[in-house]
Amino acid sequence: MDFPTVEVKKILFATDLSEHALRAFAYAASLASLYRAGLTILHVIAEDPDMDERIIGHVSAETWEKIKQRHFDEAKQALLGKRKGSGRAIKDVLDTFCEQAQTRGSSFDTDEVLVLRGNPSDKIMETLEEKGCDLVVMGSHGYSALKDALMGGTARRVLRHSKVPVVLVPLPPD
Protein backbone atom coordinates (compact mmCIF):
# COMPACT_ATOMS: atom_id res chain seq x y z
CA MET A 1 0.00 0.00 0.00
CA ASP A 2 1.35 3.42 -0.97
CA PHE A 3 1.47 6.08 1.68
CA PRO A 4 -0.50 9.06 0.32
CA THR A 5 1.06 12.48 0.03
CA VAL A 6 -0.88 15.15 1.85
CA GLU A 7 -1.00 18.46 0.04
CA VAL A 8 -2.79 21.38 1.60
CA LYS A 9 -2.85 24.48 -0.60
CA LYS A 10 -5.94 26.28 0.66
CA ILE A 11 -7.35 26.37 4.18
CA LEU A 12 -10.73 27.74 5.18
CA PHE A 13 -10.97 29.20 8.68
CA ALA A 14 -14.62 29.57 9.73
CA THR A 15 -15.15 31.90 12.67
CA ASP A 16 -18.02 33.21 14.76
CA LEU A 17 -15.85 36.23 15.70
CA SER A 18 -15.88 35.34 19.38
CA GLU A 19 -12.76 35.91 21.44
CA HIS A 20 -12.56 32.12 21.92
CA ALA A 21 -12.46 31.56 18.16
CA LEU A 22 -8.98 33.07 18.20
CA ARG A 23 -7.77 29.78 19.65
CA ALA A 24 -9.00 28.01 16.51
CA PHE A 25 -7.37 30.73 14.39
CA ALA A 26 -4.01 29.87 15.98
CA TYR A 27 -4.36 26.35 14.55
CA ALA A 28 -5.46 27.66 11.14
CA ALA A 29 -2.52 30.07 10.98
CA SER A 30 -0.07 27.42 12.13
CA LEU A 31 -1.30 24.89 9.55
CA ALA A 32 -1.26 27.50 6.79
CA SER A 33 2.30 28.35 7.72
CA LEU A 34 3.38 24.71 7.94
CA TYR A 35 1.89 23.80 4.55
CA ARG A 36 2.58 27.21 2.97
CA ALA A 37 -1.11 27.30 2.18
CA GLY A 38 -3.40 30.22 1.49
CA LEU A 39 -5.90 31.04 4.19
CA THR A 40 -9.49 32.17 3.62
CA ILE A 41 -11.27 33.59 6.66
CA LEU A 42 -15.06 33.22 6.71
CA HIS A 43 -17.74 34.57 9.01
CA VAL A 44 -21.38 33.71 8.32
CA ILE A 45 -24.23 35.79 9.67
CA ALA A 46 -26.99 33.30 10.33
CA GLU A 47 -30.33 34.12 8.79
CA ASP A 48 -33.54 32.74 10.17
CA PRO A 49 -36.48 32.94 7.72
CA ASP A 50 -38.92 32.56 10.62
CA MET A 51 -37.34 35.60 12.26
CA ASP A 52 -38.19 37.70 9.20
CA GLU A 53 -41.87 36.82 9.57
CA ARG A 54 -41.89 37.51 13.33
CA ILE A 55 -40.03 40.83 13.07
CA ILE A 56 -41.95 42.26 10.12
CA GLY A 57 -45.05 42.28 12.31
CA HIS A 58 -43.28 44.81 14.56
CA VAL A 59 -41.33 46.89 12.03
CA SER A 60 -41.66 47.43 8.31
CA ALA A 61 -39.91 45.08 5.90
CA GLU A 62 -37.75 48.00 4.74
CA THR A 63 -36.65 48.81 8.30
CA TRP A 64 -35.87 45.14 8.99
CA GLU A 65 -33.70 44.94 5.84
CA LYS A 66 -31.79 48.06 6.95
CA ILE A 67 -31.17 46.48 10.38
CA LYS A 68 -29.91 43.26 8.80
CA GLN A 69 -27.63 45.20 6.44
CA ARG A 70 -26.22 47.23 9.34
CA HIS A 71 -25.45 43.99 11.23
CA PHE A 72 -23.78 42.58 8.11
CA ASP A 73 -21.68 45.73 7.65
CA GLU A 74 -20.65 45.77 11.34
CA ALA A 75 -19.54 42.12 11.20
CA LYS A 76 -17.53 42.75 8.06
CA GLN A 77 -15.89 45.85 9.55
CA ALA A 78 -15.06 43.95 12.75
CA LEU A 79 -13.44 41.14 10.78
CA LEU A 80 -11.46 43.54 8.62
CA GLY A 81 -10.46 45.64 11.63
CA LYS A 82 -12.12 48.86 10.46
CA ARG A 83 -14.29 49.16 13.55
CA LYS A 84 -13.18 50.19 17.02
CA GLY A 85 -13.96 48.04 20.04
CA SER A 86 -14.10 44.26 20.34
CA GLY A 87 -13.93 43.79 16.57
CA ARG A 88 -10.66 45.68 16.58
CA ALA A 89 -9.35 43.40 19.31
CA ILE A 90 -10.15 40.36 17.16
CA LYS A 91 -8.37 41.93 14.18
CA ASP A 92 -5.35 42.81 16.34
CA VAL A 93 -5.03 39.24 17.60
CA LEU A 94 -5.43 37.85 14.06
CA ASP A 95 -2.69 40.24 12.91
CA THR A 96 -0.46 39.20 15.83
CA PHE A 97 -0.81 35.52 14.96
CA CYS A 98 0.03 36.33 11.35
CA GLU A 99 3.09 38.36 12.37
CA GLN A 100 4.31 35.62 14.72
CA ALA A 101 4.09 33.07 11.92
CA GLN A 102 6.12 35.43 9.71
CA THR A 103 8.86 35.88 12.33
CA ARG A 104 9.21 32.12 12.77
CA GLY A 105 10.55 31.87 9.24
CA SER A 106 7.46 30.56 7.54
CA SER A 107 4.60 32.46 6.08
CA PHE A 108 1.18 32.11 4.55
CA ASP A 109 -1.09 34.26 2.49
CA THR A 110 -4.50 35.41 3.56
CA ASP A 111 -6.38 34.82 0.32
CA GLU A 112 -9.70 36.37 1.28
CA VAL A 113 -11.82 37.59 4.15
CA LEU A 114 -15.47 36.75 3.54
CA VAL A 115 -18.61 37.76 5.41
CA LEU A 116 -21.67 35.96 4.08
CA ARG A 117 -25.31 35.64 5.07
CA GLY A 118 -27.25 32.42 5.33
CA ASN A 119 -27.11 29.08 7.06
CA PRO A 120 -23.57 28.81 8.51
CA SER A 121 -22.99 25.13 7.71
CA ASP A 122 -24.37 25.54 4.18
CA LYS A 123 -22.21 28.61 3.52
CA ILE A 124 -19.11 26.86 4.88
CA MET A 125 -19.73 23.89 2.60
CA GLU A 126 -20.36 26.15 -0.41
CA THR A 127 -17.21 28.15 0.27
CA LEU A 128 -15.12 24.98 0.61
CA GLU A 129 -16.20 23.90 -2.85
CA GLU A 130 -16.15 27.32 -4.54
CA LYS A 131 -12.67 28.18 -3.27
CA GLY A 132 -11.24 24.68 -3.71
CA CYS A 133 -10.13 24.42 -0.09
CA ASP A 134 -8.26 21.32 1.04
CA LEU A 135 -8.97 21.71 4.77
CA VAL A 136 -11.34 23.55 7.09
CA VAL A 137 -10.45 24.72 10.60
CA MET A 138 -13.15 25.82 13.02
CA GLY A 139 -13.93 25.93 16.69
CA SER A 140 -16.30 23.58 18.42
CA HIS A 141 -18.06 24.61 21.59
CA GLY A 142 -17.96 21.05 22.93
CA TYR A 143 -21.57 20.81 24.00
CA SER A 144 -22.79 17.62 25.55
CA ALA A 145 -24.02 14.97 23.13
CA LEU A 146 -27.65 15.52 24.15
CA LYS A 147 -27.52 19.30 23.78
CA ASP A 148 -25.69 19.00 20.45
CA ALA A 149 -28.24 16.50 19.15
CA LEU A 150 -31.15 18.70 20.20
CA MET A 151 -29.76 22.01 19.02
CA GLY A 152 -27.72 20.81 16.08
CA GLY A 153 -24.28 22.26 15.63
CA THR A 154 -22.59 23.95 12.73
CA ALA A 155 -19.35 22.09 13.46
CA ARG A 156 -21.16 18.75 13.63
CA ARG A 157 -22.93 19.34 10.31
CA VAL A 158 -19.72 20.44 8.59
CA LEU A 159 -17.88 17.43 9.99
CA ARG A 160 -20.61 15.09 8.77
CA HIS A 161 -20.90 16.51 5.23
CA SER A 162 -17.45 17.80 4.37
CA LYS A 163 -15.51 16.14 1.56
CA VAL A 164 -12.25 17.56 2.94
CA PRO A 165 -10.63 17.06 6.34
CA VAL A 166 -12.04 19.15 9.19
CA VAL A 167 -9.94 20.29 12.13
CA LEU A 168 -12.23 21.01 15.09
CA VAL A 169 -10.58 22.99 17.86
CA PRO A 170 -12.42 22.68 21.17
CA LEU A 171 -13.17 26.12 22.52
CA PRO A 172 -13.21 26.85 26.22
CA PRO A 173 -16.69 27.24 27.73
CA ASP A 174 -17.98 30.82 27.99
Q: pLDDT 10s per residue in the chain (174 long)?
A: 888 888 999 999 998 877 677 788 888 988 998 898 999 988 887 776 555 555 555 666 677 677 666 766 666 565 555 444 444 554 555 565 556 555 555 566 778 888 888 889 999 999 999 999 999 999 886 554 544 444 348 888 999 999 999 999 986 765
Domains, the chain, ordered by start:
10-170 (3.40.50.620)
Exposed e or buried b per residue across 43-53, where buried means at least 16 C-beta atoms within 10 angstroms of its C-beta = bbbeeeeeeee
